[in-house]
Amino acid sequence: MMKDFNHIGVIGAGAYGTALALAARRAGRSVTLWGRDADILDEISQSRTNQRYLGDVQWPEVLTTCKALEGLVGCDAVLLVTPTQSTRSMAAAIAPVLGAGTPVVLAAKGLETGSQKRVSDVFLEEAPDLVPAVLSGPSFASDVASGLPTAVTIAADDLSLASSLCEALKGPALRPYASDDLVGVQLGGALKNVMAIAAGMVDGRALGASAKAALVTRGFAELSRLAVANGAKAETLGGLSGLGDLILTCSTPQSRNYTYGYALGQGQPPQELARPGSKLVEGAVTASVAAALARDCGVDAPITAAVAAIIEGGLDLETAIRNLMTRPLMTEIRPD
């Protein structure tokens, strides 16, 4: 049965949180946006800009903001748009605030360090009375905030819930597609960030278009292998939250993961790119977690392993290229 979600709460007033709040408002929903930075919330309310995260993007829509999580009481559904590694603490914080059964759409694209768990599993451990869904797909925050045409996937264990959330968020420039593959949508979004770093390294080192095409293609095969081994549906990886997002993030400096990889390819050391004040790069955190997950599952993931080793400082790019190019030959399509 389709449900009506007329009042949408958004947690996180960064670039993507602000953009999704605008998308929900343009879909005709009442929206309340919460963030940690009171100054940014005031700017959003008064100037209809978010200079720190969205630059010169300005919008005509009015967004209601709140400076306490209690301002989200009564929301029909909530979008949680905070980094992967803060999911556990945020879930614990909102669990006593939101009503039991409230759907919470998770927008982070990563895996928890240490546990290797997906965001939805982490969320449920801290907020078992709430209902997780996920939103993923090829969507830069600036494009969504500017009202440029964008398509994403919204997944939930209950397909009717996913469809209702899609109906609530569809607008003149945002087209959501429903899925019941919570695992596949999350792993596609998380693992493609690692491949985007690799693609950036290829371009940063000027290895050529042929190398880039090979990397993206074999990277897609690798992330699909790992995701399916963990319960994802293969067809999900060929959709927006897998291949679509991979194409986007591997192709433009708008992607933080690509830009981070490009800097590595040009010789900047990983520790310099991780200095305090640097922007969060989800793929840089996910790489080592994904590599460990692949080892534990017995899945061959050489690109992921190479990216993780380079970021950790145990492998240089030239050696990584040589190792990948001299691996034993095999058939392109594997029986597993």
Instruction: Report the percent of the chain where pLDDT is more than 90.
Output: 95
Same structural domain for residues 142 and 193? no
Indicate the pLDDT class of residue 71, thresholds 50, 70 and 90.
Answer: very high
* Burial status of residue 121 (CB atoms within 10 A of its CB: 0-12, 13-18, 19 or more): middle
More confident residue, 330 or 132: 132
pLDDT confidence of residue 278: 86
Flag whether 1 is in a domain. Answer: no
Indicate the pLDDT class of residue 146, thresholds 50, 70 and 90.
Answer: very high
Indicate the pLDDT class of residue 336, thresholds 50, 70 and 90.
Answer: low
Report whether pLDDT(246) > 70. yes
Q: What is the pLDDT of residues 44-67, one digit of tens each?
A: 999 999 999 999 999 999 999 999
Give SS3 for 295. Answer: helix
pLDDT confidence of residue 334: 76
| Selected catalytic residue, list 3, 67, 192, 212 | 192
Q: What is the pLDDT of residues 79-128, one digit of tens each?
A: 999 999 999 999 999 999 999 999 999 999 999 999 999 999 999 999 99
Same structural domain for residues 98 and 192? no
Report whether pLDDT(264) > 90. yes
Q: Quote the mean pLDDT of the chain.
A: 96
Rounded Cα distance, 82 and 64, in Å:
19
Same structural domain for residues 105 and 214? no
Q: Considering the entire predicted model, what is its pTM?
A: 0.96
Same structural domain for residues 47 and 135? yes
pLDDT confidence of residue 333: 85
Q: What residue numbers bound the domain in which 28 lies?
A: 7-180
Flag whether 206 is in a domain. Answer: yes
Rounded Cα distance, 112 and 47, in Å:
36
Indicate the pLDDT class of residue 39, thresholds 50, 70 and 90.
Answer: very high
Same structural domain for residues 191 and 320? yes
CA distances from 249 to 33, 34, 128, 244, 304 (A): 27, 27, 33, 9, 16
pLDDT confidence of residue 3: 82
pLDDT confidence of residue 170: 98
Q: What is the pLDDT of residues 226-242, one digit of tens each?
A: 999 999 999 999 999 99
Tell me the mean pLDDT in the region 178-198. 98
pLDDT confidence of residue 1: 59
Last residue of a domain, one of 125, 147, 180: 180
CATH number (domain holding residue 149): 3.40.50.720
Identify the CA nearest to 132 among candidates 87, 172, 175, 188: 87
Same structural domain for residues 18 and 97? yes
CA angle (101, 104, 110) in 5-degree steps:
140
- Domains identified in the chain, total number: 2
Give SS3 for 201. Answer: helix
Last residue of a domain, one of 134, 161, 180: 180
Q: What is the pLDDT of residues 211-231, one digit of tens each?
A: 999 999 999 999 999 999 999
Q: What is the pLDDT of residues 289-317, one digit of tens each?
A: 999 999 999 999 999 999 999 999 999 99
170 part of the active site: no
